[in-house]
Amino acid sequence: MLICEEKSEAWSQFLEYAEERCSATAFENWLAPIRVVEESDEGLILEVPNIFVKEYLLENYLKDLSAFLPLRSDGQLAVEFVIAAPKKEEKSTAIEDLSLVKTATPEVNLKLNRNYIFDNFIEGPSNQFVKSAAIGIASHPSRTYNPLFIHGKVGLGKTHLLHAIGHAIGQSHKNLRIQCITTEAFINDLVDSLRNKSVAQMKKFYRHLDVLLVDDIQFLQNRLNFEEEFCNMFEALINQNKQIVITCDKPPSLLKLSERMVARMEWGLVAQLTPPDLETRVAILQHKAETRGLSMPQETAFYIAERISQNVRQLEGAVNKLTAYCHILDTSLTEDLVIEVLGEMLKHAPTKRISIDAIFKAVAQVFQVRVSDLKTNSRTKEVVIPRQTAMYLAKELVNDSLTTIGSAFGKTHSTILHACKNIESKIKKDPLLARQIDLARKGLDEYC
Ligand code: ADP
Ligand code: MG
């Protein structure tokens, strides 16, 4: 299908108008892909990637379209729609548009998911710190933390933040050479260049970067030769004060990598993403629903968020499934529909909430102190470590903000953070403490 070379004035004006009135994601997902195929006295022919985009446009903008686009004598829009032939590797719906955008930076072809930007990343207590650090790096590459090491379980937004840093630096520092790569792709690159005898060229390429974003470094484990090559490149970049950001499914200390490599990862800031609390999950669901043009009542969002708690990707999958059903069945979202469509996904009962009280009891039991000791200000050694352990476990297991956790101890959130850091570093050197903490964790079931 040929696309109009000359942009339709009327359509451009409508786009300008709509862009100011919807979120950037909604615009990118729904409106930007529409093309004017023909403009004549009879009206416009618009090409849409799929039927959902047409429905979205008519449902949300019919009145506005009538103001901008030509009308027939009966007052109806003089617009026809045609569906674009699917492109080979493209998904057939705009619901999950994960296509990659290429941002031109000098000599580097940066591939980033266009939806993974800071604006689309919903903040809550579980990710606020990491997001701020990421924004800090994006605004001042190489001037804040280097490297930034982001770790957390699968589906919590590591790749999203990594790409968001890439987008933001690409926009604000246009002359910097940025590369965003998965560890697997790095290894493949290296294998290819070994085969083609172009290792020197590859090394030169990486060592001339200004910003290196590396996803899923855990795949470097057990790849001895590659690890060494990576470590050399890492050092070369850091020594030239080039920014590095790394993501991983575990903290550096748990990686089966050489001491040298682990130490390098810990040079800068190590920051953890944890599963979002209930309110944040609800906000994520509602944001994702909104960008897909799905109206999701608050109770429905709570119903789903109470049952999917550990993985944002699953929340997103739920919204995608519901959006598709609502469009196909032309119906609005009800709790019955949620149960019918998401049945399997929701089979887990709401996760048992671990309370701070349960943690107090389990820790007191393991360390043989009184629960009241854990809440006092006593600074004796016998009490300080158990109290800090309780804070550490509360941060890990209780789905509340640090401020709320702090108030259960009569402390501020920064005391909790300090305690957690202290325990984290002690665990590494003190196997007995690590075992005690494990026992307390296991003992929790008894008190929940
Ligand atoms: P990870 O790399 O940690 O496995 P991803 O970055 O791939 O996770 O995130 C999984 C999905 O969840 C992505 O589509 C991402 O956009 C989304 N996501 C994760 N966290 C958030 C958040 N806080 N706000 C909005 N979307 C999120
Ligand atoms: Mg990832």
Q: Are residues 216 and 327 in the same domain?
A: no
Q: How far is the CA of 425 from the centre of ligand 1 (A)?
A: 28
Give the Cα separation of 401 and 277 in Å (integer): 8
Q: Are residues 219 and 107 in the same domain?
A: yes
Q: How far is the CA of 154 from the centre of ligand 2 (A)?
A: 7
Q: How far is the CA of 162 from the centre of ligand 2 (A)?
A: 9
Nearest Cα to Cα of residue 96 among 329, 343, 318, 331: 318
Q: For residue 347, what pLDDT is reported?
A: 67
Ligand nearest to the CA of 113: 1
Q: How far is the CA of 109 from the centre of ligand 1 (A)?
A: 23
Side-chain-side CA neighbours of residue 88 (13 Å): 0
Q: Are residues 340 and 233 in the same domain?
A: no
Q: Are residues 134 and 238 in the same domain?
A: yes
Which of 213, 245, 272 marks a domain boundary? 272
Q: Is 377 helix (H, G, I), strand (E, B) or coil?
A: coil
Q: Are residues 283 and 263 in the same domain?
A: no
Do the domain assignments include residue 426? yes
Whether the CB of 158 sits within 6 Å of ligand 1: yes
Tokens encoding 419:
């305690």
Whether the CB of 155 sits within 6 Å of ligand 1: yes
Q: For residue 350, what pLDDT is reported?
A: 54
Q: What percentage of the chain's residues is helix, strand, coil (to nearest 5)?
A: 55, 10, 30
Q: For residue 90, what pLDDT is reported?
A: 36
Q: Are residues 71 and 147 in the same domain?
A: no
- Among protein residues, the one with the nearest Cα to ligand 1's atom 20 is 157
Instruction: Read off the CATH number of the domain in which 386 is found.
Output: 1.10.1750.10
Q: Are residues 323 and 234 in the same domain?
A: no
Ligand nearest to the CA of 130: 1
Q: For residue 251, what pLDDT is reported?
A: 94
- The rounded average pLDDT for each run of 10 residues, N- to C-terminus, in the chain (448 residues) is 62 87 73 87 85 80 87 88 65 35 52 94 93 94 92 95 97 94 90 85 91 96 87 93 96 92 92 93 96 94 91 94 91 90 73 81 93 88 93 84 85 89 89 90 76
Do the domain assignments include residue 32? yes
Q: Are residues 167 and 128 in the same domain?
A: yes
Give the Cα separation of 174 and 104 in Å (integer): 9
Whether the CB of 124 sits within 6 Å of ligand 1: no
Whether the CB of 98 sits within 6 Å of ligand 1: no
Q: How many separate domains does the chain show?
A: 4
Q: How far is the CA of 122 from the centre of ligand 1 (A)?
A: 9
Q: For residue 87, what pLDDT is reported?
A: 54
Give the Cα separation of 8 and 27 in Å (integer): 18
Q: For residue 46, what pLDDT is reported?
A: 92
Q: For residue 52, what pLDDT is reported?
A: 67
Instruction: Read off the CATH number of the domain in which 28 is found.
Output: 3.30.300.180
Q: For residue 448, what pLDDT is reported?
A: 63
Nearest Cα to Cα of residue 235 among 205, 257, 267, 258: 267
Instruction: Read off the CATH number of the domain in which 328 is found.
Output: 1.10.8.60
Whether the CB of 160 sits within 6 Å of ligand 1: yes
Q: How far is the CA of 329 from the centre of ligand 1 (A)?
A: 28
Q: For residue 403, what pLDDT is reported?
A: 80
Give the Cα separation of 340 and 335 in Å (integer): 9
Do the domain assignments include residue 130? yes
Give the Cα separation of 341 and 344 in Å (integer): 8
Do the domain assignments include residue 181? yes
Q: Are residues 139 and 239 in the same domain?
A: yes
Pocket test for ligand 1, best of 167, 312, 314, 315 (most atoms within 8 A of CB): 312
The whole-model pTM stands at: 0.62
Ligand nearest to the CA of 217: 2
Structural domain span for residue 285: 278-346
DSSP 308-351: --S-HHHHHHHHHHHHHHHHHHT----HHHHHHHHGGGG-SPSP
Do the domain assignments include residue 159? yes
Q: Are residues 342 and 226 in the same domain?
A: no
Which of 51, 83, 115 marks a domain boundary? 83
Q: Is 213 helix (H, G, I), strand (E, B) or coil?
A: strand
Pocket test for ligand 1, best of 112, 156, 158 (most atoms within 8 A of CB): 156
Give the Cα separation of 338 and 308 in Å (integer): 13
127-152 per-position pLDDT tens digit: 999 999 999 999 999 988 899 999 99
264-295 per-position pLDDT tens digit: 999 899 999 999 999 999 999 999 999 999 99
Which of 83, 110, 129 marks a domain boundary? 83
Q: Are residues 166 and 181 in the same domain?
A: yes
Do the domain assignments include residue 94? no
CA 38 to mean position of chain CA atoms: 39
Q: Are residues 57 and 154 in the same domain?
A: no
